[in-house]
Chains A and B, each alone.
Chain A
Amino acid sequence: MREFDVIVIGTGAGGGIAIKTLCEAGLKVCALNAGRELIPEKDFQEHRMPYDMPFRGFGSPKQRAESVGYMDNEYGPNIWEHDLAYSTAPGTRWMWPRCFAVGGKTNFWGRSSARFAEIDFKAASRDGFDVDWPVSYDEIAPYYSRIERMIGVASTVQNRPSNPDGVYLPPIRFRCRDYILQAAAEKSGIPYLPDRYAQLTVPHEGHPACHYCGNCTNGCDVGAFFSSPYFFLPKANATGNLELRTNALAREILVDSDGRAKGVAYVDRGTRREVEVYGKAVVVAASCIASAHIMLSSKSRHWPTGIGNSSGQLGRNLCDHLYGTTAFGYLPQLLGAPSFPDNVSSTSVAWLPRWQNLENPTKEKFIRGYSMYPDGGCEIFPSYYDDIEGYGSSYKAEIKRRYPTPLSFYVQAPSQRSDKNFVDIDPEKKNIYGIPEVRIHFEWDENALKMWEHAKESCREIFRNAGAIYEGHGEIESPGFSLHETGTCRMGNDPKHFVTNRFGQSHDVPNLYVCDASVFLNCTDKTTTLSILAFSLRTSEYILQNFKAGEHRSESAI
């Protein structure tokens, strides 16, 4: 029976950097991935025009009905998970697009990459809500810098208390609309700055520079933005220390007679057989909810409510970003302007980083803060067509005249920890492999809803300042939409209240580690991927230390 040094569940951001770090150090790693490998030239067809697809990119009615999110579209069918059901508690809406392909959601992520700040880690000390993180910014900062160098992040130095500056490639240039909006936002004291995006504005570490086609959300067939399969897994593979098993759906972490992790039982989705794989340590990096699902499903004599759950906090404290279009309309000063490639990154080139509650933590009606992103411009489809009255030549001319003008903003507002928001195992429902389904309980807290109201007001002001025509706002998106869920295995120093310690190691099971956003105390106003990478790198090096110190014995030369 072969025993690996480490079994890593998941190959996305957290799993990818763990696999690379451990393999490069000489450990034998078995990586389990719940889906298939993607073939870039076949699966990433982001350069197709709408007329290259039968349904012109809108998808067949069947695909539209079954789509799990806007990314699950005619550009890339058969990439997003449809077969594995999950359950929601009565009253909970939860949209959960899962990419189980190798590399997970890093294949398609939004690429916004801001660091968390001391103001985030010590938020509880400032406003009295919840608890501080068990780490300081200074402790994490070097890991952020190393990750930024590895993946390439473009931005500028901005000197903002909530947004520590990092190591940056040159930014994407501002578009006409950015100058207009920057002036308008600044009139109200709202910052409007280049976003921090993991998109290569220059060739970087052997990866080509971006060519600004603007369809990153459907995958990049040249790998000009960070994804685990382009940036990490080939390096891990080159060491000869990696065994990647695809279509391997982790079901349970196996324990030995002392209750320590000894391996993982998974379903081979090709043969539907159950397979066991053994290792001296296990890293769970399946993404926040899926990691909690696997751990909650790992019940044994030692761990009757799930592995590492002596605190009772496993699966609890689920947080998410509230997303929604806070304003839409258009910029009349751009009517009739020449078309401009506004969507060079299929995301915002700019952001409006948190400006609330910075000096005085209780200045606003809500605690903490939110960020916003602008959107609009010359898109692939004139989706404002229904806002114009009429038909005929004048209608056609007006569609063209309005083409450069559409403007919208969307908000990224964190929910706060609540006893009401958690995941558990559904007592009745089972998925197609007979595995009891994970069940999600979630509702927006009042604090996040106050941010939503505040953001809508802020946008009205920016619209007024910009002379923009305001046409309305959208609805709050379904929870889960942001894909920024955090908190099911929070880290903290007290084993009675936290699942993992400050290094992401299980308090109960010393050879079990968590390398994704489940260890985060909350989701802050920033996106999660960069921080997943930084924290996972730190945890991976902590694992190596433990191997070197003989905590986990290995015959490998490290």
Chain B
Amino acid sequence: MSGQSPSRRQVLQAFSLAAVAAATPGFSRWCYALGKAEQQPASGGGPGGAYIPKFFTPHEYRTVETLTELILPSEQGPGAKEAGVAEFIDFMVQNDSSLHEPFRSGLAWLDGAAGRQRTFTGLPRAEQTRILDRLAYKKYQRADERAGQDFFKLARQYTVMGFYTTKIGLEALDFPGLKFYATSPGCNHACDAEHTGI
């Protein structure tokens, strides 16, 4: 079985989490990101309408939206917001009991980091990024914030999963596969075999 891609395999392994039965997905904004007119949301509103989260509380859900939009912002092309990443995460967490606690406590951690009487979503953007910088970059990381760092890693993983598996996410990569090619696509730089000049 020469023929499997180790990187694809690594991805599948990275996501091999505990078992829980699947349920019907209920994407609203996300399914509009697909560009499939016939696909209707199973619940929640349409474009512009409010999505009703299945797992998260309304406050948690707003935090997920804020966080994912900071991770993949709508700058230089669409981001987590247009791809409905928060809804995707709500669906994935709802269907995977092993994710319940990490997301719930991670979102609470962010509110804790925002300071007394404040929430992460309520902070000005500059303060939000100051917190995320401490979680995302080794040079700013603090030894007593391991819990926050772990959650950030998890949230970033699910944000990437949620974004790059939508139509707009794949378009952002200019994904060249699953298409029809009449002849085998090949390199056109044979004159520069080592590709030092491309």
Residues of A within 8 A of B (CB): 46-47, 49-51, 54-67, 70-71, 73, 105, 109-112, 172-176, 178-180, 182-183, 195, 201, 210-217, 325, 328, 333-334, 337-348, 351, 373, 375-376, 378-386, 389-393, 395-397, 399-400, 403, 406, 408, 410, 412, 474, 481-484, 527
Contacts and interface: CB of A to CB of B under 8 A. Distances in A.
Contacts, number: 256
Interface stretch (B13-21, B47-55, B114-122): B13-21
A390 B136 contact: yes
Contact of B181 (A110, A112, A341): A341
Interface string B172-187: 1111111111101111
B188 to A, nearest CB: 8
Contacts of A173: 184-187
A386 B157 contact: yes
Given A213-B179, A333-B198, 17 more contacts: A49-B178, A55-B92, A60-B22, A62-B22, A174-B187, A175-B185, A179-B195, A180-B193, A211-B182, A215-B178, A339-B175, A341-B176, A344-B184, A344-B185, A391-B71, A391-B72, A412-B2
16 contacts: A55-B95, A60-B21, A61-B18, A64-B12, A109-B3, A213-B180, A217-B3, A344-B184, A375-B5, A375-B6, A379-B8, A381-B161, A385-B164, A391-B156, A410-B6, A474-B6
Nearest to A201: B184
A176 B3 contact: no
B157 to A, nearest CB: 7
Nearest to A61: B96
| Interface hub of A67, A110, A180, A348 (most chain B Cβ within 10 A) | A180
A216 B3 contact: yes
Interface string B152-179: 0100110011101111001011111111
Contacts of A216: 3
Interface residues on chain B, size class: 35 or more
B1 A47 contact: no
A57 B165 CA distance: 9
A351 B88 CA distance: 39
A385 B157 contact: yes
Nearest to A346: B3
A46 B179 CA distance: 11
A392 B70 CA distance: 6
Contacts of A396: 72-73, 75-77, 79, 172
Given A175-B186, A343-B177, A344-B181, A391 B132 contact: yes
B69 to A, nearest CB: 10
Contacts of B22: 54-55, 60-63
A196 B172 CA distance: 34
B198 A176 contact: yes
B129 to A, nearest CB: 8
Contacts of A410: 6
Contacts of B136: 389-391
Interface of B: 1-12, 14-22, 24-25, 33-34, 70-73, 75-77, 79, 88, 91-92, 95-96, 98, 129, 132, 136-138, 153, 156-157, 160-162, 164-167, 170, 172-182, 184-187, 189-190, 193-196, 198
B158 to A, nearest CB: 11
B177 A378 contact: yes
A280 to B, nearest CB: 35
A197 to B, nearest CB: 9
B9 A70 contact: yes
Contact of B137 (A325, A386, A389): A389
A315 B58 CA distance: 60
Contacts of B73: 392-393, 396
Given A54-B25, A109-B3, A389 B138 contact: yes
A381 B165 contact: yes
A458 B145 CA distance: 41
B185 A341 contact: yes
B72 A61 contact: no
| Interface hub of B4, B157, B189 (most chain A Cβ within 10 A) | B4
A65 B18 contact: yes
Nearest to A342: B176
A217 to B, nearest CB: 6
A178 B186 CA distance: 10
Contact of A376 (B7, B18, B170): B7
Nearest to A527: B2
Contact of A381 (B11, B88, B182): B11
| Interface hub of A50, A333, A397 (most chain B Cβ within 10 A) | A50
A125 to B, nearest CB: 28
A181 to B, nearest CB: 10
A71 B185 CA distance: 25
Contact of B4 (A70, A195, A390): A70
7 smallest CB-CB distances across A and B, nearest first, come from A173-B186, A110-B3, A60-B22, A347-B3, A65-B19, A50-B165, A56-B165
A333 B198 CA distance: 8
Contacts of B88: 56
A527 B3 CA distance: 11
Contacts of B194: 179-180, 183, 333
Nearest to A113: B2
B164 A58 contact: no
Nearest to B21: A62
A382 B164 contact: yes
Contact of A179 (B20, B91, B164, B189): B189
A112 B4 CA distance: 11
Contact of B71 (A217, A378, A395, A527): A395
A325 B174 contact: no
B4 to A, nearest CB: 5
A339 B185 contact: no
A373 B17 CA distance: 29
Contacts of A62: 19-22
Contacts of B173: 339, 378, 382, 399-400, 403
Contacts of A383: 7-8, 10-11, 14
Nearest to B135: A391
B166 A51 contact: yes
Contacts of A392: 70-71, 73, 129
Contacts of B185: 173, 175, 212, 340-341, 344
| Interface hub of A63, A195, A211 (most chain B Cβ within 10 A) | A211
A403 B164 CA distance: 12
A326 B38 CA distance: 45
Contact of A338 (B70, B137, B174, B182): B174
A198 B34 CA distance: 34
A381 B9 CA distance: 11
Contacts of B16: 64-65, 67
B3 A212 contact: no
A342 B7 CA distance: 13
B195 A61 contact: no
